[in-house]
Chains A and B, each alone.
With several copies, the nearest count.
Chain A
């Protein structure tokens, strides 16, 4: 049972098991244990506060990779009243690591793209751990172009340890597919809202993350490189991932400070997987607000602002004279 939980959740899970035990006992022996249970519930709340208020970057990475973490289809299922998944790149295959389709969210028809990880061993392999192959990115591109044609805004759920790391992905042009997606997204004449729900790692993430608003769930991470890979290079020791997670500044809080994202979406205490309903309520509100604001803009203005949004990002000694420096100097 514990294998489905993180080490950092251990104290919590132990209290939860005690509560369960007491509840069973109360029923079996017909005893009133409500006092004891209430005290344990208090302890549980306190432990939760304690554990989750100040996660280290490496703990955030663990949370983002939590085996119970909700995935794109979980959010889609909870947020959308209708959903039609669209498959295939019309040229080579259908990559199950990427989902794409049309949905109805708060009455609004939207296109949705996203990484999809698998829950069990078999599905994980089928979904290639959420690592997109070129045909998956090209499917996403096709559905985004469909969205543009019929003026549907796009929501992108990012949750990937990176793009597919296979010889086949190289053979079919994973570089080109990542690059092309960014190019297409930078010009798409409809609102694009990005939500980094878990792992936002490397080229596989930015391939789905060029948009007007970028949000991160509280315990997700966003990084140019996986902490393990960074540790291999930096310390010649992949087990020093904890240190490189720290060094890379990959938390939502860091990304917000660097103007890389606009918004942190708070997770329920204990993380998104402990209360999907509540998570979706918060996320739904954030998405609705963003879509409403963005839908008010004419397409050319939207695209221009999106360009400026990314144009301003970078930590350099000299800002271009024709581009206003962001209010908080990035990277400080």
Chain B
């Protein structure tokens, strides 16, 4: 639905503060609440559209599809449902794009596809993205929104952590920049691999970022964690982030930072 087709009185309720927002304005604000600043999760293709020059995105590896290496109970069905819902083959979209004219290799995960989890296809696509960035010597950018490794592919998922981390190592050794953007949520196996290895790490305000889920820690340790535990702001205070950048500024920040690294 195009912005000019949305009636002026259609409203959207903010997940953050519950305020009723005019849908058109909310969309124009990139799905950020004008009251409380809540950043709604973006599907991969909206994220890509937001970041790159109009029409500049050329998808890579769209043909890659997941298999069921373990014959894991229920995986087939969950995957198919996710595919029907998102029109994606798996939880990650990668390709070439331009940001303010500069060619980049850009990847984004889609939380709506099985929690944006990283199985073989996600890992393979990120690895190919990083390898192509190296080959073409263009900076790589990933935007994560993920619950971590995909349980249903078992060890195959765990291996994607090593695979993508190794690909980052090669890219950085070749002095090609890699910027990791963390959007809500960025946790577990993805956060503990390539997403934590950016030359620069940028988060969206309020994004949940961590390794072990707060609930698991609370149950295991029998403690109560503060409300802002593992928020982007918490991670900034603990030295894990370079910047917290609101969505509206993300694209220009990426362009400027790449310019400072490369020009």
Contact = CB atoms under 8 A, between A and B. Distances in A.
**Direct interface between A and B, CB < 8 A:** yes
Interface centre among A94, A224, A229, A306 (most CB of B within 10 A): A224
B193 interface: yes
A202 interface: yes
A311 B239 contact: no
B10 interface: no
A173 B196 CA distance: 9
Contacts of B3: none
B138 interface: no
A224 B149 contact: yes
A293 B114 CA distance: 42
Interface string A166-179: 11011111111011
Nearest to B69: A331
B259 A109 contact: yes
Nearest to A87: B242
Interface stretch (A34-42, A269-277, A312-320): A312-320
Given A174-B192, A311-B163, A320-B128, A103 B260 contact: yes
Interface string A125-153: 00000000001000100000010011110
Contacts of A203: 161, 188-189, 192, 211
Interface centre among A179, A230, A250 (most CB of B within 10 A): A179
B238 A172 contact: yes
B158 A206 contact: yes
Interface in A274-332: 306-307, 310-311, 313-318, 320, 330-332
Interface in B146-187: 149, 151, 153-163, 165-170, 172-173, 175, 177
Contact size range, A: 35 or more
Contact of A210 (B166, B199, B211): B166
A163 interface: yes
A128 to B, nearest CB: 11
B158 A317 contact: no
Contacts of B175: 149-151
A27 interface: no
Contacts of B119: 315
A182 B166 contact: yes
A94 B127 CA distance: 30
B60 to A, nearest CB: 11
B191 A247 contact: no
Given A84-B260, A91-B239, A175-B210, A170 B199 contact: no
Given A179-B192, A247-B73, A317-B64, A166 B166 contact: no
Contacts of B237: 93-94
Contacts of A180: 196-197
A151 B260 CA distance: 11
A313 B159 CA distance: 7
B199 A149 contact: yes
B50 interface: no
A142 to B, nearest CB: 10
Contacts of B166: 182-183, 186-187, 210, 306-307, 310-311
A315 B173 CA distance: 28
Interface string B111-152: 000000001110110011000000000000000000001010
A87 B64 contact: no
B22 interface: no
Contact of A179 (B70, B194, B217, B253): B194
A331 B70 contact: yes
A152 B166 CA distance: 21
A179 B165 contact: yes
A265 interface: no
B124 A316 contact: yes
B243 A84 contact: yes
Given A307-B170, A316-B124, A330-B156, A178 B193 contact: yes
Contacts of B239: 87-94, 135, 139, 173
A249 interface: yes
A248 interface: yes
A187 B261 contact: no
A167 B223 contact: yes
A249 B154 contact: yes
6 contacts: A135-B239, A169-B212, A173-B240, A183-B169, A203-B211, A313-B163
Given A223-B154, A310-B162, 13 more contacts: A88-B236, A93-B237, A93-B238, A109-B260, A109-B263, A173-B240, A175-B195, A175-B211, A178-B192, A186-B165, A203-B189, A313-B120, A314-B160
Interface of B: 63-70, 72-74, 119-121, 123-124, 127-128, 149, 151, 153-163, 165-170, 172-173, 175, 177, 188-189, 191-197, 199-201, 209-212, 216-217, 220-221, 223, 225, 229-230, 236-243, 253, 256-257, 259-263
Interface of A: 82, 84-94, 102-104, 109, 135, 139, 146, 149-152, 163, 165-167, 169-176, 178-180, 182-184, 186-187, 202-203, 205-207, 209-210, 222-225, 229-230, 233-234, 247-250, 254-255, 258, 260, 306-307, 310-311, 313-318, 320, 330-332
